[in-house]
Amino acid sequence: MRVSSISIPEVVKEMITRNRSIYDCMKMDLINYTALAVKLQPEIEKVLGNSVNLNTVVVAIKRFADSFEIKDEVKEESVLKNARLALTDGIMDIKFSVKDSNEMNPMTILDKFSKVTSNYEFFRVSDSFRFLAEDMDDIRQIFNNVSNRENMFSTGLAKIRISIPTSQNQSDVVSYVAEVLHENGIELVNAFFSQDNIVIILNERDSSRAYDILHSDILRT
């Protein structure tokens, strides 16, 4: 399990990928980069905990937009070439906000998780801490003393872990996967980045078909 610092390009990519309207407009080259940067700047500063230069945000947005053009140019070779997939059903997304982290210290919770299961993910994202784990009573009991625990759990989910060789460009994998699944009528619930893998979250009812679609994409390369 790895928790790494977040860069401005990573935050920009996450915010755009999770917002389907912005993502689609960017894909069609209908986005004003400066206007979008103004909209995202306060959220990015909240995530990073310090001020961010507007021009830096604009550059990050433009680089992400440029990745669409690069992807179109190499369309014959799948972005998922040599990728490995791992599907897990019965996943629960546990979320608590940064402002609530005093009540629920993430490192204390990580220690409790490790005593219950090794099959979990931990991410620090835009405005929250996220745990992805099997929907188990023992996991839920870790949060028994949390005041607003009824709003913490999202269930009926599945995750697909995508491992890309380090020699390949991983920067546009999520946008590529989101587009491929969108074209087949499947929408991502969420996506998370680490140094080694990308984890996409879907509704459990879509997980098997999504896995087959992505696996077929890999096989055609």
CATH number of residue 179's parent domain: 3.30.2130.10
Average pLDDT score, the chain: 82
pLDDT at residue 189 is higher than 70 = yes
- With contact defined as beta carbons under 8 Å apart, do 6 and 198 qualify? no
pLDDT at 94: 87
Residues 86, 170: one domain? yes
Residues 207, 145: one domain? yes
The arrangement of strands across the sheet holding 197-203 comes to 120-124, 128-134, 84-97, 153-163, 197-203, 190-193
pLDDT at 80: 83
Residues 114, 60: one domain? no
Instruction: Specify the number of domains making up the chain.
Output: 2
Residues 57, 82: one domain? no
pLDDT at residue 88 is higher than 80 = yes
Q: pLDDT: is 108 or 126 the higher one?
A: 108
Domain that holds residue 59: 8-73
Residue whose token pair is 């210290």:
105
pLDDT at 170: 66
Residues 117, 204: one domain? yes
Q: Which DSSP symbol is given to 127?
A: S
Q: 0.75 cut: is pTM over it?
A: no
Choose one of 73, 105, 124: the last residue of a domain. 73
Residues 32, 87: one domain? no
Best CA proximity match to 162, nearest among 80, 96, 100: 80
120-124 and 128-134 beta bridge pairing: antiparallel
Question: What average pLDDT score do residues 186-194 get?
Answer: 85
Residues 96, 59: one domain? no
Residues 24, 82: one domain? no
In a domain? residue 176: yes
pLDDT at residue 54 is higher than 50 = yes
Residue type, 150: E
Residues 115, 21: one domain? no
Q: pLDDT: is 171 or 81 the higher one?
A: 81
**Dist CA 34 CA 133 (whole Å):** 38
Non-local (6+) Cβ contacts of 202 within 8 A are 157, 158, 159, 160, 181, 186, 187, 188, 189, 210
